[in-house]
Structure 1
Amino acid sequence: MANLVDFAIVADIGGTNARFSRVKMADLTLDKVAVYPCATFASLADALQHYQQQQQLTMLKHVAIAIACPVTGDDVSMTNFHWQFSISAMQRQLGLSRLLVMNDFTAVAMSLPALTASDKVQLGQGSSQPDKPMAVLGAGTGLGVAHLIKVDGKFVPLPGEGGHVDWAAQTEQEWFIQQMLSKEYGHVSPERLLSGPGLEAIYRALALYRRLDVAPLSAGEIGQQALAGTSELASATVAQFFASLGSVAGDLALTLSTFGGVYVAGGIAPKLLPLLEASEFRTRFEAKGRFSAFNRQIATYIVTAPQPGLLGAAVYLKQSLAS
């Protein structure tokens, strides 16, 4: 069926903020972008209706939503926020012709082929092969993970919950962090470190490890102090964060032989890009024993595009309408 839709609405719903945009389907141009705190609204339907009314877009009846939780059926329940809904019921409630709902990192994965050279920064060596599998991970409120493959000329996202597998400590410092987090949570996953709350947890753990009496800091404060070079503990925290991020990214590369590249998205890495470039990220990405040479061939990128989730939701919708 030909794509006869001129404009649609796309959304990227995280644990903290809800982002909405109008998209021009012909060239995937995004405009009328609005960001609202999720806590402002009782439900996702309320937030979407508010956006439509505020931007005078009530006539648009095609919507694609990326959301930070598993999407395995009609019922959706967010992992790090209280919104839950039925996709079919919300479509009827809002009178939509089409409502696509996908995991947020399904959308980020779908954005990868549409990224321009100015939307990403390469770290280290390696090259990417366009038709080979790709991986994306991103730290924000949580840790999102997905892969992307190309089948019969179409991109197929492979969403998953890779942020909740087992995290493996590799140094004495990391063993200390793991023991502390194990006492707090039981199971220690990569998300317990590679997220905003994870950055705060690393800071607390390193303070204990170094026997320092310091007040807890927010993730934003840790990042600011590390960038400014005003706190050695904050700098060490960010260094540990990126070392662990490199290890997990390298695991994803091995899991699906991602010669299309491994991409780091999310809200944290792009903001700390100057520190990331000088970190152990790429060293740990490649440090895979007998398969170090394998990972050395694979390119790693930081996604600097402002709204990859919105872009990916638009790509997914366009591909769906064209099929």
Structure 2
Amino acid sequence: MIEKVLLPLAAKDWMEEAIDADGNKVPVKRKLFTNINGLLLEHEKIDADDLMRWHEWVKPGDLIVFDEVQKPWPLTGANKEQPKCITELETHRHYGIDMHLLTQHPMLINAAIVRLAGQHFHVRKLGNSRFATIYEWDGVSRTLLYKNSFSKKPWRRSKKAEEVYRSSSLHTKQKRSVPTVIFGILFALVMLGVLGPTVYGRMQERFHPKPVEAAKVETKGVGAEKVETAAVALASIPAVPPVGQVGDKPAAFGGCARIRDRCQCFDTAGTPTAREALFCEDMTRVAVGIGAPLEHLRDDGELHRERLARLAWADNDREVLTYMQKRAELAAVASVAKK
């Protein structure tokens, strides 16, 4: 009240423009009547009795500021017969005055005043600090519904108001505790500083992923590692022995075959083996008439018999080779069956 209403008027030497009955603007010197103790501004002191007779002594332009108004005008029913000081408030504008009434809560004062008030200001302090929030309604809010106020403004008590007002004869310094909301703000700032870089890094990875080329290079590396691993695994698998070979033991000797001047020995797997020529010739030597040289079959004067012998010799060689191959295959099948 002192800072918002009284100090601006005091700065103008209590001069203010007003409108007379003819609608003309005229300067008016306002006079302050109040019961606020310790006020150092120019004013005239009044009490509860003076407030009960305000309609008898006020003059146009006067300003009445009364603190703790619930004492002279306590809570009573609106339908109850009201004194003249209350009923005259219905037309107080006709007197050309302004009246500001201060109380702890609107439910403490006369119900008729609650209905007649034009504006309602509520100062809500923030802890034990200089800061507060001022709520304004266009009528009295009996239950102080802050969400229904049409104006909400932050406010900080200035030192100028303290210079023109002493609230008591003895000023005690109260311990000021930091409000919980301040702790919450400080905690949020600390957490922002700690977790901010981590959150920012994750957001960058999400909205700005790494280039695709880097991912391809990495994929190739993984594939190469897999190929190398597979190669090592294949190398560790023991080799399967050839057909006809049992385990690590070499295949057994199968026999020898001779075609004209060439003689070769084989094992049971059909693989050629290194044997001496005499051994191969001894193994392939048969009785006369079965694969024997032509000189044993030659009969002078009988060319036809020589031709037949040659054909029989060639057929015999083919039969021998076929026999050796079948023998090798049978040996391989027997080896697999034993496993």
Q: Same fold (TM over 0.5)?
A: no
Q: TM-score range by the shorter chain?
A: under 0.3
Give the number of the structure whose alpha-carbon radius of gyration is greater: 2
Output the TM-score relative to the length of structure 1: 0.21
For normalisation by structure 2, the TM-score amounts to 0.20
Higher normalized strand content (fraction of residues): 1
